[in-house]
Amino acid sequence: MAELILHHYPESLFSEKARAMLNARGLAWRSVIIPMIMPRPDTIPLTGGYRRTPVLQVGADVYCDTALIAARLDGEGSGASFFPAASRLAAQTLARWVDTELFWAAVTLRFQPSNMGSFFSSGEAAAAFAADRANFSQGSTVRRLPIEESLPRYQVFLAELESQLSDGRAYLFGAEWTIADFSVYHVLWFIHAGGAMADDLARHPAATAWFGRMGAFGVARGVEMSGAQALQVAADATPAPIVNPASDLADVPLGAAVDVGPTDYGVMPSRGELLHCDTASIIIAREHERTGLVHVHFPRHGFGVTRV
């Protein structure tokens, strides 16, 4: 198998989710640290416009969104499946709720002045981040939650998490982890990275113990690689063949030029040739002078396809 290359930055909560998943499965991976804000000259050639972080590169195949990254990693390395049959529906439903609804509460809580910690190195960095995210949010269909909604939402969730774990189970649905554990973990990690809300978690001993177990997965950071080196890996590779390519879009046949992007926020699309679209994933082909031909993969849930 080609090397697993994660394009990420240290402060990104979804990157922490991907790092934890890679490490939990005992997988070797390369680490490409990307800028927190645009421009990202060594990432956009791979994705074609998709701006969310992280991105997983495997040779000349690029996987966007941690939901799809989890599906790509499941079965690699060792350990339990992220999607066990007995709890797949419950785990997926919880993971999606946390990655969307609880995520916005986490953003509000993390960026309270008292909880900023060392997120920004300077006032100039904070201003640049704010300007970048204002551009990133254009076209967003979600509502940012005020602190009056975010804090009680999180406090209720912590109480429910404590109740779920109070019987001594190691993970949310029993003795083995699921995708829900990693989704809940990365949101709590982000909220508590600033340090000001430690008491909120400390009041819940079972949740605190679980958070410690999950946090151990996020420690390893991968072997460093430059963005230029990662692009050369793509240029030297050939995308993996697509098994049973098909399109379930009546008005968008295979081979059509399409834009693919998130439907909620960060809606900047990637443009390419449609290679596959079903209920699980969307795949497009695109070329760049620095990468050659690459296949870019997106989850179907939360993403839309528009014919150009």
Using only C-alpha atoms, the chain has a radius of gyration, in whole angstroms, of 19
Q: Could you identify the residue written with the tokens 């379930």?
A: 248
Is the confidence at residue 87, as pLDDT, over 90?
yes
**306 DSSP β-pair partners:** 259
Joined together, the tokens standing for residue 136 give: 């990133």
Does the domain at 85-217 match CATH 1.20.1050.10? Answer given as yes
Looking at CATH, the fold of the domain delimited by 4-78+222-307 is given as Glutaredoxin (3.40.30)
Tens-digit pLDDT profile for residues 157-186: 999 999 999 999 999 999 999 999 999 999
pTM above 0.95, yes or no: yes
**Domain spans of the chain, in order of start:** 4-78+222-307, 85-217
Tens-digit pLDDT profile for residues 229-276: 999 999 999 999 999 999 999 999 999 999 999 999 999 999 999 999
For residue 114, which of 189, 36, 192, 37 has the smallest C-alpha distance?
192
Residue 196 and residue 115 in contact, taking contact as beta carbons nearer than 8 Å: yes
Is the confidence at residue 22, as pLDDT, over 80?
yes
Q: Report the distance separating Cα 96 and Cα 107, nearest Å.
A: 16
Tens-digit pLDDT profile for residues 89-101: 999 999 999 999 9
Joined together, the tokens standing for residue 13 give: 């909560």
Cβ of 30: how many Cβ atoms within 10 Å? 18
For residue 55, which of 294, 27, 46 has the smallest C-alpha distance?
46
